[in-house]
Chain A
Amino acid sequence: MTPEFEWKTTREGWGHGLVDVGMTFEDVVVLVGDLTGSTNVNFFKEKFPDRFFQMGIAEQNMANVAAGMSLVGKVPYYATYSAFGVGRVVDQLRVTSGYTPCNIKIGGAHSGISVGPDGATHQMMEDIAILRALPNFTVIAPADYDQTRLATIAVHEINGPCYIRFGREKVPVVTNPADSFEIGKAQVMAEGDDATCIAYGQMVSEALIAHDLLLEEGITLRVLNMHTLKPLDEDAIIMAAEETGAIVTAEEHQIYGGLGSAVSQVVCQHYPVPMEYVAVMDRYGRSGKPEELLDAFGLRHNNIIRKVKKLLDRV
């Protein structure tokens, strides 16, 4: 039996989280680059019009205007697609907000292949690699609506640049709004000792389906939701290596520089075990329906299952 999920967008979680955090803290301001509706900052705009800034299609300016606001005590959250809010502004993020560092929060919408028909330009799959490489950045990719909402609130507690990644389409709700969300602390989503799947974002739900299907064959797969890509929960990874002896990572991101690379580093250094990777294999995306693309790019529970079996053959 595969689980039945409720489906909601993560970007709505960001939108509602902004209103929550804006109610609590008056220092919260929101900036957007001509994408108010699709990044769901419209909720904040309606509630706090004075603290909302339309910056037009000018991401480089927006990133550093946010940095400037942070210098005098604001906590700016800016929103656009991750392709532009990360991709377009790498130098601004590296020198101004990373190096200084500045207390800005970035919302990166439309990440991953599941963006669908817009195609490769909009399917950002290099954001995690870019931002993990920048000192002082906190990088979060929540699994679902509720977790995105909690992450949007939680980053206010961190005094430094933070990134929250979210997608375009509705994704399964896999966490509980009552769950605690701790930045840098992986969540055990399902128990198991034969192998571990470490995933983030939408791939957590695919891992949970893989867990259930493997159980029918008597294989127990631990599922870790690694919602924080930086700082990485090394203890949870080492424990998974020690206790399950095999790890597959799963992500809607390029193979180079993503979660797979990050986990490998920890595993190699502390407790080497066989690993496999479910990721985008060093290619750009393309147009198509989200489901069609997840299938074609091998980002499904059956891909996870295949990799788990491959691992079990090895250990």
Chain B
Amino acid sequence: MPRLGWNANQLQEKALDVRRDIITLLANAGSGHSGGSLSCTDFATALFFNRLRVEPREPMWEKRDFWNFSIGHVTPVIYSVMAERGYFPLKDLLGFRQFNGHLQGHPSAHDTPGIEVSAGSIGQGLSIAIGVALASKLDKNPRHCWCIMGDGEQQEGSIWEAAMSAGHYKLDNLTAIIDVNRKQIDGDTVDVMNVEPLADKYRAFNWHVIDVDGHDIQAILAAFDEAENTPGKPSVILARTVMGKGVSFMEDKAAWHGNPPSHDEAKIALEELGTDYDTWYKRLAESEGSRP
């Protein structure tokens, strides 16, 4: 069954698991990006468990929907939703950023099954999704393309070259999701280099714009429906989120953009997420399955 179609309640529960994975793998690795991973978690979980038509055991299945995270640094959430969805065993998450693991600090097509294109230099992903969308139309392949971006990332000029071309080619098989958590490395996006009003900008580039609470799963699902069913235009979902969502001491703090929790902090975080470190570490370490 390529598309899982899970409902909001199921997704809510899965998103909780994903947050627990993220904290555990970050603490285990001792480096990596917490803040953006947690702000993306709800819509990423909804995308993977409700929407995407994919065959995780056969990642290159011809009719697959295309997805890519242009913000390559949020590998903790990317790998967690991938593992939870069955691309590779959960225990691989404990090899994150390790020399002997296959889960690189930034997505590597060379190393990880299901990662179709390498990333980590901000601002390149939307163009890639547009390429896939254009080629898919040419081939009459029904796939939908989903590209996840950051709001700080909108500062890159390459994003706007891409936005222009998607509008120009009326790519209604493309949906961009922007994680608008209003933070980046050096602080608040509005202070570093203001990107708002994003809705007006994308509208001016001939996109259909959907503004949504990025932690309201019901609303996210409605946004997915609207995006997939808006003809003649690419859609962008502005997911209004909170950096570090779900862990009280990380919420809304730019300092958590690129830092992992220490083991002690991870213990507190996992308690807030309704479990404990040892239990969750064990869940990952003792997971079944082998790398496809």
Contact = CB atoms under 8 A, between A and B. Distances in A.
The DSSP consensus for interface residues of chain A is loop
A34 B185 contact: yes
B73 to A, nearest CB: 8
Max chain B Cβ within 10 angstroms of own Cβ: one of A60, A118, A122, A288: A118
Interface in B190-244: 191-193
Given A55-B193, A58-B155, A286 B104 contact: yes
Contacts of B123: 57
Nearest to A119: B105
B120 A122 contact: yes
Nearest to A115: B105
A120 B72 CA distance: 12
A292 interface: yes
B13 to A, nearest CB: 31
A293 B157 CA distance: 33
How many B residues are at the interface, by size bracket?
20 to 34
Contact of A296 (B29, B99, B153): B99
A118 B122 contact: no
A224 to B, nearest CB: 31
A137 interface: no
B76 to A, nearest CB: 12
Interface in A276-315: 284, 286-289, 292-293, 296
B156 A119 contact: no
A116 B106 CA distance: 12
B186 interface: yes
A285 B258 CA distance: 20
A36 interface: yes
B186 A34 contact: yes
B207 to A, nearest CB: 20
B127 interface: no
B141 interface: no
The DSSP consensus for interface residues of chain B is loop
Contacts of B101: 287
A61 interface: yes
Contacts of B31: 116-118
A119 B104 contact: yes
A56 B193 contact: yes
B204 to A, nearest CB: 19
B141 to A, nearest CB: 29
Interface in A37-81: 37-38, 54-58, 60-61
B78 to A, nearest CB: 13
Contacts of B157: 58, 60-61
B121 interface: yes
Nearest to A123: B105
A35 interface: yes
Interface stretch (A82-90, A99-107, A181-189): A82-90
A173 to B, nearest CB: 25
B152 interface: yes
Interface in B101-135: 101, 103-106, 108, 110-111, 118-123
Nearest to B30: A117
How many A residues are at the interface, by size bracket?
20 to 34
A117 B97 contact: yes
A286 B110 CA distance: 11
B32 interface: yes
B105 A118 contact: yes
Contacts of B98: 287-288
B258 to A, nearest CB: 8
A122 B32 CA distance: 13
Given A58-B155, A87-B121, A288-B99, A119 B193 contact: no
Contacts of B153: 57
A121 B30 CA distance: 19
B120 A119 contact: yes
Contacts of A287: 97-99, 101, 103-105
B184 A289 contact: no
Contacts of B104: 119-120, 286-287
A122 B105 contact: yes
Contacts of A118: 31, 105-106, 120
Max chain B Cβ within 10 angstroms of own Cβ: one of A55, A117, A296: A117
A292 B227 CA distance: 46
Contacts of A122: 105-106, 120
Nearest to B157: A60
Nearest to B31: A117
Contacts of B152: 34, 56-57
A175 to B, nearest CB: 30
Contacts of A60: 157-158
B106 A286 contact: no
Interface string A110-133: 000000111111100000000000
Interface of A: 32, 34-38, 54-58, 60-61, 83-84, 87-88, 116-122, 284, 286-289, 292-293, 296
12 contacts: A32-B186, A35-B185, A55-B193, A56-B155, A56-B192, A57-B123, A57-B152, A60-B157, A84-B122, A117-B31, A286-B99, A288-B99
Interface of B: 29-32, 72, 97-99, 101, 103-106, 108, 110-111, 118-123, 152-153, 155-158, 184-186, 191-193
Given A37-B185, A116-B31, A119-B120, 17 more contacts: A34-B192, A36-B186, A54-B186, A54-B192, A56-B152, A57-B122, A57-B184, A118-B120, A119-B104, A119-B108, A121-B105, A286-B99, A286-B111, A287-B101, A287-B104, A287-B105, A292-B99
Closest 6 CB pairs of A and B: A56-B193, A121-B120, A288-B99, A119-B105, A56-B155, A117-B97
